[in-house]
Structure 1
Amino acid sequence: MAKYAKHVYTDQAQIAALEAWVRQLPGEARVQLTLDDGSRLLGTVAVQPTVQSFRDESENEGVNGLLRLDDLDSPVQQHLVWLDSIREVRPLPPIQP
């Protein structure tokens, strides 16, 4: 796991927002993410992310979280997404057998 994050948070409201994303991203959930740059990713959550301690480039300690998302069209392709870059999580229907 990474030791450094571009952004780290110590404010309780910001930490609560990160934890809210975690609750929407259970393991094996199929989701569409909208990121802060407007891009969208479709995939399966490999493992539910957690909020963890990181340092920023100035060595300030705080929290963030990293999500591993397996691409929906190409599951061997993995996306690593910082929780603070997520703007929307839309659940997708499960695969029908």
Structure 2
Amino acid sequence: MGRSATKVFTQPADIARLEHWVTELAVNARVRVHCGHTAPQEGVVTVTPTVQVFQDGDGNEGLNGIVKLESIQRPDWDGAIWLGDITGIEHLDSTTFGSSKA
């Protein structure tokens, strides 16, 4: 994955938002992730994401993270979504944080 991100976050409110998304993305949860103006991505969370330190293109250090999804309908597809790009999460099953973690 490297340590480069298109966007990094340093403000407490932004970091709290990233940490909130982590609590919504338990491993094996089936979710639909919304990211602003792009089409929602639907899949199963392969690993509970973590908030980590990255650098943006200008060398600024801050926090972000990635959630990786796999698709049941498209076995050859997997997606990586930046936590900082997420605007909403819909749970499509009953798996929530604490139910199944890895």
Q: TM-score, normalised by structure 1?
A: 0.91
Runs of 4+ in 1 over 4 A off after TM superposition: none
C-alpha distance in structure 1 between counterparts of 2:72 and 2:85, whole Å: 19
Q: Which runs of 5+ in 1 are unaligned?
A: none
CA–CA separation in structure 2 for the residues paired with 1:72 and 1:78: 10
Q: How far apart are 1:15 and its partner, in Å?
A: 0.2
1:81 aligned onto 2:84:
no
User: Is 2:6 aligned against 1:6?
Assistant: yes
Q: Secondary structure at the match of 2:57?
A: coil
- Please provide the CA RMSD for this pair: 1.2
C-alpha distance in 2, partners of 1:51/1:18?
7
Over the matched positions of the two proteins, sequence identity in percent amounts to 37
Q: SS state of the match for residue 59, structure 1?
A: coil
| Other-structure match for 1:27 | 27
State the secondary structure of the residue aligned to 2:9.
coil
8 Å Cα contact 1:64-1:84 kept in structure 2? yes
Deviations 1:33-84 (A, max 9, x none): 1111241111000000000000000111000001101123113311010001
Question: More strand by proportion, 1 or 2?
Answer: 1
In structure 2, the residue corresponding to 1:53 is in which secondary structure?
Answer: strand
Corresponding residue number in structure 1 for 2:60: 60
Q: Which structure 2 segments of 5+ residues have no match?
A: 95-102
Give the secondary structure class of the aligned counterpart of 2:37.
coil
Q: Size of the alignment, in residue pairs?
A: 94
Q: CA–CA distance in 2 between the matches of 1:32 and 1:23?
A: 15
**SS at structure 2 position matched to 1:46:** strand
